[in-house]
Amino acid sequence: MRLLLISVSSLLFFSCAMQTKTAIPPTITKEVIVRCPIPDIPHVKKPIIKQQEPITEKLQTMLNYMFQLQRENKLLREVLETCKGGNK
């Protein structure tokens, strides 16, 4: 009877001691910084406007350049918003 009591108490003691080590995960004390992946956004090249071209051609070239810059700006702002939203 005494042997049974000792064996049961030792089993309970060792099983509880083993479980507490694996049940509690280690706490993280350092802040972890997660970086946002940077997508490949093509850079808009500035067009060369020649003096010999008619004014309509010059204006059309400048308008096309402006619209391309707006598109690039929109893509960059979307990337910034997704990165800001992911880090909160």
Q: Do the domain assignments include residue 87?
A: yes
Domain interval for residue 46: 39-88
Q: Do the domain assignments include residue 68?
A: yes
Alpha-carbon dihedral 41, 46, 47, 50, rounded to 10 degrees: 180
Q: Which residues of the chain have pLDDT under 70?
A: 11-23, 32, 34, 86-88
- The pTM (predicted TM-score) of the whole model is 0.54
DSSP per residue over 27-42, as a string?
A: PP-SPPPPPPPPP--P
Q: Do the domain assignments include residue 76?
A: yes
Q: Do the domain assignments include residue 66?
A: yes
CA 62 distance to own-chain centroid? 36
Digit-coded pLDDT (tens) for 3-17: 777 877 776 666 655
Number of domains composing the chain: 1
Res 55: pLDDT: 95
Q: Do the domain assignments include residue 9?
A: no
Placement of tokens 């009591």 in the chain: 5
Res 58: pLDDT: 95
